[in-house]
Amino acid sequence: MKIYINGKYFAKEDAKVSVFDHGLLYGDGVFEGIRSYNRRVFKLEEHIERLYESAHSIMLKIPLVKKEMEQAVIATLKENKLDDAYIRLIVTRGEGDLGLDPRKCAGKATIIIIADKISLYPEKFYKEGLAIITVPTVRNLPEALNPQIKSLNYLNNILAKIEAVNLGYDEAIMLDSLGYVAECTGDNIFIVKRGKLFTPPQCMGSLRGITRDAVLEISRREHIAVHEHVLTRHELYISDECFLTGTAAEIIPVIKIDGRQIGEGKPGKVTLELMKNFHALTRIEGTKY
Ligand code: PXG
Q: Is 157 in the pocket of ligand 1 (CB under 6 A)?
A: yes
- C-alpha 208 – ligand 1 centre gap (Å): 10
CA dist 102 and 104 (Å) reads 5
Digit-coded pLDDT (tens) for 57-92 = 999 999 999 999 999 999 999 999 999 999 999 999
Which residue has a Cα nearest atom 17 of ligand 1? 186
Q: Is 186 in the pocket of ligand 1 (CB under 6 A)?
A: yes
pLDDT at 121: 84
Atom of ligand 1 nearest to the CA of 207: 1
**Confidence (pTM):** 0.97
Q: Is 129 in the pocket of ligand 1 (CB under 6 A)?
A: no
Residue-averaged pLDDT of the chain: 97
Name the E strands within the chain. 2-5, 8-11, 29-37, 40-41, 85-92, 110-116, 130-134, 172-175, 181-184, 188-193, 196-199, 226-228, 241-246, 250-257, 260-261, 287-288
Digit-coded pLDDT (tens) for 10-38 = 999 999 999 999 999 999 999 999 999 99
Point out the residues that are catalytic.
150
- C-alpha 63 – ligand 1 centre gap (Å): 24
Task: State mean pLDDT over 242-256.
Answer: 98
- C-alpha 266 – ligand 1 centre gap (Å): 24
